[in-house]
Amino acid sequence: LIEIPEILIVNAAQIIKPLVDPPKDRKLDILKGAALAIKGGVIAALGDQGEILSRFQIGPSTQVIEATGKVVTPGFVDSHTHPIFCGNRVDEFEMRLRGKSYQEIAQAGGGIRSSVRGLREASKAELIEHALPRLDRFLTYGTTTLEAKSGYGLSIEDEIKSLEVIRELNGRHPIDLIPTFLGAHEIPDEYRSNRQRYIELVTREMIPRVVDEGLAEFCDVFCEEGVFSIEESRRILRAAKEAGLKLKIHADQLHPTGGAELAAELGAISADHLEWISERGIQRLAEVGVVATLLPGSVFFLGMDRYPPARSLLEAAVPVALATDFNPGSCMTESMPMILTLAAIQMRMSPEEVLWAATAGGAQAVDRKGELGTIAVGKKADLVIWDVPDYREIPYHFGVNLVHTVIKSGKIVYPRSR
């Protein structure tokens, strides 16, 4: 029986298949000179070109992509972003360049709290209008799935508004968005003198409402000195878990607080940042199988020099994901390739490790292990074709966009004209 595919990719220099359960020393399978057929939005076949061409016929509606000298990878799964905000924080960027620290700016009313003021004033339509070009940029740089957090609302109404915006964007844009409730991102100004009351608002009112309306899959907390303590984070995350949400934690970013140990204790899906993770924290993540989501873009953008200990995490067999941490204050980039380069240079991760961490690792960090971030028959066709013949050139050739074509759910979504 001859089948007619919707898309046929031929003569690919490399098709990169991240392994779902990789051994410690090997993360990818590489097919050379191979072909890949897409039918019904999923990968119908891949491998030896002769076999694929004998099974599939090019029909009038088949789009043939000539991939000579090009690499095919899964689309990136960017598992940590804050994309719902209004305007930007370029003034603070300049203040930092003049010597003010991120924490000094935050204490003067800037930082997350300035984004909160902007978000509260914005309508849903305005927030969507601001977010859509950002999603386009993510797609342009090869991201096909995005975890998206609320967390600039910090009131019931404004957190719900942010999550509704994420839901609407998910329906309107080719990128799939996975929503995370981050009501515990900061204590809002009006609760500065009564933080316990704000924590009660999060646990007793926001979480039940978010769950009732099915607006989030994950709950996250910014566990950090001066933000939410370990004990406060535990209270919030326990309430979220009891209500049926999966857990993520901003852990050990600026100080060693024991956030990674808390992630393991609560069975979180991921612990994120981890610049100051302890030896014990690394062991606990390995024991429980919590994904370590590393965000080197925020270390770079804050002008700091302490990167997360990627080598120790990999050595301990902790699953490592890489994500942008896209947000207006501490990491203003939608580019996963930039993050791969930073991870390679600053954390000594190999090209193989960074590619795995941005695809299969990201999928594991959003609880989609084996479902996203790999290339296999029957999986959704979320693919990127790169203008390079060797995947190692993706982190190597930095600061430029090497993406040739992005395919999402079996459709070419970038460039738009194809």
Question: Residues interacting with Zn ion, by CB under 5 A?
Answer: 325
The CB-of-404 to Zn ion minimum distance in angstroms stands at 30
> Please, which residue, 325 or 352, has the CB nearer to Zn ion?
325
Q: Write the burial class of residue 23 (CB in 10 Å: 0-12 exposed, 13-18 middle, 19+ buried).
A: exposed
Instruction: Select 327 or 405, whichever has its Cβ closest to Zn ion.
Output: 327
- Please enumerate in sequence order all residues whose Cβ is within 8 A of that of 56, keeping only pairs 6 or more positions apart, or say none: 2, 3, 4, 5, 8, 37, 44, 45
Task: Please report how close the Cβ of residue 299 comes to Zn ion at its closest, in angstroms.
Answer: 12
Q: What residues pair up with 291 in beta bridges, in sequence order?
A: 270
Residue 45 or residue 331: which is nearer to Zn ion going by CB? 331
Spatial distance between the Cα atoms of 225 and 252, rounded to a whole number of angstroms:
9
Q: Which of 222, 144, 138 is nearest to 180 (CA)?
A: 222
Distances in whole angstroms, Cα of residue 86 to Cα of each of 111, 258, 417:
13, 32, 29
Instruction: Please report how close the Cβ of residue 80 comes to Zn ion at its closest, in angstroms.
Output: 6
Calculate the alpha carbon distances from 277 to 40, 189, 323, 353 in Å.
Answer: 44, 30, 17, 20
Nearer to Zn ion, 235 or 250 (CB): 250
How far, in Å, CA of 168 to CA of 352, rounded?
Answer: 35
Which of 37/223 has CB closer to Zn ion?
223
Walk across the sheet containing 291-294 and list its strands: 76-78, 143-149, 176-184, 218-222, 246-251, 270-273, 291-294, 320-322
Least separation in angstroms between residue 250's CB and Zn ion is: 5
Q: In the complex with Zn ion, which residue's Cβ is closer, 158 or 186? A: 186
Alpha-carbon gap, residue 308 to 24, rounded angstroms? 19
247/383 with CB nearer Zn ion: 247
Residue 80 vs 130, nearer CB to Zn ion: 80
**For residues 101 and 171, is the Cβ–Cβ distance under 8 A?**
no
- Of 253, 270, 299, 302, the residue nearest 102 (C-alpha): 302
Whose Cβ is closer to Zn ion: residue 224's or residue 325's?
325
Nearest CA-CA partner of 262 in 312, 200, 274, 367 = 274
Closest separation in Å from C-beta 82 to Zn ion: 6
Q: Which residues contact 315 (CB under 8 A, 6 or more apart)?
A: none
CB of 325 to Zn ion, least distance (A): 5
Q: Tell me the closest approach of the beta carbon of residue 81 to Zn ion, in angstroms.
A: 8
CB of 288 to Zn ion, least distance (A): 21
The residue whose Cβ lies closest to Zn ion is: 325
